[in-house]
Structure 1
Amino acid sequence: MTFAPGHLLAGLGTGLCGGLLSGLFGVGGGIVMVPLLGLVLHLDQHRAQGATLAAMLLPTGLPAVLQYRSRGIHTSLRLVGVLVLAFLFGIYGGSLVANRIPSEPLRWGYAAFLVLLAFKTFFRHEPAPVDRTLEPLDLSTGLWSAGVPIGLLAGVVSGLTGLGGAVVVIPLLASRFRMTQHEAQLTSLVMLLPPIGLPGVYVYAKAQGGLPWGVIAGVAVGFAVGALGGARVATRIQGVKLKQTYAVIVLLMALLVALRGR
């Protein structure tokens, strides 16, 4: 596509929406950004997914991470390291598969994945509240045996869909390590600080003959601003409300993707 100033503004708006979602729910923001890039800028599914991964290469979630930390919410850097290592292998493989699927089937598969995700999130059993003064976060077991499969699966999903992988990471961390919703979200955001999407961006850029870098720059700036605002709100909202709101937004994005097909 030929770059125009309006594309930068559209990228800023898209990134702002994605950043708000990321800060609120700890996800990469791709759930909003992929559909909007397709709807507003008419990018095909492959380019929209590749552009979203590229926009998240910079540490745009750092303001959100700092906001979580200022509220006394913590995670384990050892666990993050294991997740990132496995993620790098998964995203490369997932991206290779995605770029072998025609755009229309990929888009409908993406929409179907969002619908499934929305229902699983909305009806997921919420674990009992955890008091960290009485029950410290325990990562003494399962760091590698659970961390590697979680990171690998998150990478594959990210490569296939252009999402940041948090849609997999957050519920599995909450289930396996009894993390609170906020702790799992923070862990997901910290994962995104290094350029873990680089293998996927390389595959998408090579397969699609390049990506819209001007749009991507706007998305990255908007994402950083939105993530900070979203994190400030998230730390004041109960986990159950976060989960339900997230599920509704995911379902709306699936509807947008489906409507674009018409």
Structure 2
Amino acid sequence: MPLLLLAIGLGAGILSGVFGIGGGIVIVPALVYLAKMPPQQAAGTSLAALVLPLGAAVGALTYYRAGHLQPRDALLIAVGMAVGAFGGSWIATHMDGDVLRKGFAVLMVLMAAKMWVG
């Protein structure tokens, strides 16, 4: 299991560095389907991993040095994420796991369609 979790983190780190994604789109589904975690545990584990900013900080520094990062924008998003994560985690911990999993799938399909269309 530790090697699987390291592999999930590595994959999420690579995709995060390339696309700016990670937690919800990569880590949560991998934990649910590969590590066999319930959706709530996968979401909590993903959020906890994101609290450790080392990986993201290194990637963000690379973007900053290349002139592709506005720190003020990132800070405002981080504040919004903190408030949203608190509320969202409360909601998720009070939902049925199947409903949460299916809702997540709908969100991913909608986001994929929007990205495809432009």
Matching residue within 78, 83, 97 for 1:103: 97
Q: Within the alignment, does 1:45 sit opposite 2:39 as a pair?
A: yes
Shift of 1:108: 0.8
**Per-residue Cα deviation, 1:182-208 (whole angstroms, up to 9, x for no partner):** xxxxxxxxxxxxxxxxxxxxxxxxxxx
Matching residue within 32, 35, 42 for 2:29: 35
Q: Within the alignment, does 1:93 sit opposite 2:93 as a pair?
A: no
Work out whether residues 23 and 47 of structure 2, in 8 Å CA contact, stay in contact via their aligned partners in 1.
no
TM-score calculated relative to the size of structure 1: 0.42
Match of 1:75?
Answer: 69
Which structure's CA Rg is the greater one?
Answer: 1
Q: Within the alignment, does 1:84 sit opposite 2:78 as a pair?
A: yes
* Matches of 1:92 and 1:104, distance apart in 2: 21
Q: Partner letter of residue 13 of structure 1? A: A
Work out whether residues 18 and 32 of structure 1, in 8 Å CA contact, stay in contact via their aligned partners in 2.
yes
CA RMSD of aligned residues (A): 1.5
Identify unmatched segments of 5+ residues in structure 2. Answer: none
Higher relative contact order (CA 8 A, sep 6+): 1
**Per-residue Cα deviation, 1:124-156 (whole angstroms, up to 9, x for no partner):** 1xxxxxxxxxxxxxxxxxxxxxxxxxxxxxxxx
Shift of 1:100: 1.2
Q: Within the alignment, does 1:20 sit opposite 2:8 as a pair?
A: no
Matching residue within 57, 63, 82 for 1:62: 57
Q: Partner letter of residue 27 of structure 1? A: I
Superposition map of 1:45-194 within 5 A = 45-59=39-53, 60-70=55-65, 72-124=66-118
Shift of 1:84: 2.1
Aligned residues: 117
